[in-house]
Structure 1
Amino acid sequence: MAIVLGVVCVVLVVVIVGFARDRGRLQRQLGDAQLRVAQLESDLDAALRPLPPTNSADRAVRRVIRAATRVREHGITGLIQSTVEDLQSWASDAERADILNMAASDGTVTLFFSDIENSTPLNDRLGDTTWVKVLAAHDRVLRVQIEKYRGQVVKTAGDGFMVAFRDAEAACRAALGIQRDLVRDVTLRRHGPIRVRIGVHTGQVVARDGDYFGRNVAMAARVADLAEGGEILASNAVVDALDDDAAVVLEELEPVELKGLAGEHTIWRVLPPE
């Protein structure tokens, strides 16, 4: 009996030792598997996460996409309701400095507002994929002329632009160049007509953190609201700021009231020189 018990004890010891060894091996394998799963999850998360914008242009594009609904719902005046934080999400320090430097020492600057007429039904008709291509072509046309006449894009929202110029003639000539090139662009002709409204106003503004504020910003937006697609309208202040030999033709329109701004205002249609 003692011998049998001894054998049983030896067998139990062997089994226990083997079990402990197998248990340790299984725990190590389980730990390795958990590490691999965690790594796979991390890799998958990194692959699915959108890449951070690498420059101001990328940030601007993302800001445009997020703001498209706002400008469609509120029109061109929706641009002036953007917050400083919105602007800082895409504008670099250098760009904000350039924007502030557009104004004269007394705060006078010429502002240009634009947007695409009836953009919501146009987007609906074309579909989102084509609409993105149209927006890209539209933006390209605007930025070429803005850069040519040394303007500075203050901010964009959807298909709307707010641009600052040092002088009134540069703003008017950029607007004329934009209207001319819009009808020539191959992409826009294919999906058009793409008709852009433009309003220009000159006045003193309050500059802060790369943005402009004040009554004259609202005035510029209201002038743009009056325009029809393909039309450029300017305030009386723009006409007063133009030299006599400016390369534009001006057609005076009937005085109008502007929402939120007291009195009647003389508005001019800007035309190319004959």
Structure 2
Amino acid sequence: MAIVVGILCVLVIALLGLVAAFARDRAALQRRLADTQAHVAQLEADLDAALRPPPPTNSAERAVRRVIRTASKVRSHGIAGLIQSTVEDLQTWASDDERADILNMAASDGTVTLFFSDIEDSTPLNDRLGDATWVKVLAAHDRVLRTRIEQYRGQVVKTAGDGFMVAFRDTEAACRAALGIQRDLPRDVTLRRHGPVHVRIGIHTGQVVARDGDYFGRNVAMAARVASVAHGGEILGSDAVREALDDDAAVVLVERDAVELKGLTGEHVVWEILPPG
């Protein structure tokens, strides 16, 4: 009997030891699991931080982010996307000082000359060139436009993809800037190598509503629509542009057939703008 009791005591002690060892192992396993989960969470946070670009520090960076998000939409819908999109879709990327300059472009009655442009058939061109080359083409295109815009004291109101909206105080200056752009584009080394790149430009003069560094109203839509009926390499102006130009303006206007402009009632006379001679 004593032997049996002794054996039972040994078994109980051994069982208690196993239970204690199991409890220790379970606690250690739980600690390792918690450490692993914390490590995974930290790795996920680090990866998310690495993949997430830092917040933009200035208006130009904010503009780049917005343009990247809207570029494909604008390329798909053409210049009309600049008007049909909401203000949130299109970034007014100018600084505070530049916004003031943009608003100062308009006369006291709100009259300003607006210039819209985009690259004709940009989506198939992008597809043919590939994204890496397309970025270089866009950079060269932007450089040509901005050089002439600055020369004739225009102010870029906003850009999206390959589309530009520009304000000029003087109608002739807008026309001469457009003519300079069309001359310079075929001469650019990058565009000559990967082109041809055909840009269509529309110009209109009229009263606009100014707000937060941007322009709104029927005349903004008119300028965009005039650009939309141009072919690549062409500059078209509205009848208001013809009326605003002096008789001795250094441009030639050739009347085109009246056209319908989407969203605007009636037919509208447009003029092709050509260099003198």
Same fold (TM over 0.5): yes
Deviation by residue 1:193-216 (Cα, 9 ceiling, x = unmatched): 111111111110122333322221
Q: Which of 16, 23, 41 lines up with 1:38 in the alignment?
A: 41
Distance across 1 between alignment mates of 2:25 and 2:235: 83
Deviation at 1:273, TM superposition (A): 4.5
Deviation at 1:241, TM superposition (A): 2.8
Structure 1: unaligned runs, 5 residues or longer: none
CA 1:19 to 1:70, structure 2 compared with 1: closer, same or farther past 3 Å? Answer: closer
- SS of the residue corresponding to residue 44 of structure 2 reads helix
Deviation at 1:113, TM superposition (A): 0.8
Provide TM-score, normalisation by structure 1.
0.84
Q: Which of 109, 115, 119 lines up with 1:116 in the alignment?
A: 119
Q: Which of 249, 252, 264 lines up with 1:250 in the alignment?
A: 252
5 Å-filtered alignment, 1:1-274, equals 1=2, 3-88=6-91, 90=93, 93-246=96-249, 248-254=250-256, 256-259=258-261, 260-262=263-265, 265-273=268-276
Deviation at 1:108, TM superposition (A): 0.7
Native 8 Å contact 2:92 2:157 kept in 1? no
Distance across 1 between alignment mates of 2:266 and 2:26: 89
Native 8 Å contact 2:154 2:168 kept in 1? yes
Distance across 2 between alignment mates of 1:211 and 1:169: 22
CA 1:88 to 1:72, structure 2 compared with 1: closer, same or farther past 3 Å? Answer: closer
Distance across 2 between alignment mates of 1:38 and 1:174: 56
Distance across 2 between alignment mates of 1:150 and 1:8: 98
Deviation at 1:106, TM superposition (A): 1.2
CA 1:273 to 1:89, structure 2 compared with 1: closer, same or farther past 3 Å? Answer: closer
Deviation by residue 1:102-126 (Cα, 9 ceiling, x = unmatched): 2222111110011112323323332
Deviation at 1:135, TM superposition (A): 1.8
Provide TM-score, normalisation by structure 2.
0.83
Deviation at 1:15, TM superposition (A): 3.9
Distance across 2 between alignment mates of 1:174 and 1:89: 22
Deviation by residue 1:13-36 (Cα, 9 ceiling, x = unmatched): 444444333333332222212211
- SS of the residue corresponding to residue 105 of structure 1 reads coil
Deviation by residue 1:124-177 (Cα, 9 ceiling, x = unmatched): 332333223212221221122223333222222332211111221221222122
Could you tell me which amino acid in structure 1 is paired with residue 153 of structure 2? R
Native 8 Å contact 1:149 1:171 kept in 2? yes
Distance across 1 between alignment mates of 2:92 and 2:6: 84
CA 1:89 to 1:231, structure 2 compared with 1: closer, same or farther past 3 Å? Answer: closer
Deviation at 1:88, TM superposition (A): 4.5
Distance across 1 between alignment mates of 2:80 and 2:245: 25
The two structures, once aligned, show a CA RMSD in angstroms of 2.8
Deviation at 1:92, TM superposition (A): 5.2
Distance across 2 between alignment mates of 1:209 and 1:142: 24
Deviation at 1:94, TM superposition (A): 4.9
Deviation at 1:219, TM superposition (A): 1.9
More displaced stretch, 79-88 vs 95-104: 95-104
Native 8 Å contact 2:70 2:90 kept in 1? no
More displaced stretch, 31-40 vs 107-116: 31-40
Native 8 Å contact 1:70 1:157 kept in 2? no
Could you tell me which amino acid in structure 1 is paired with residue 23 of structure 2? A
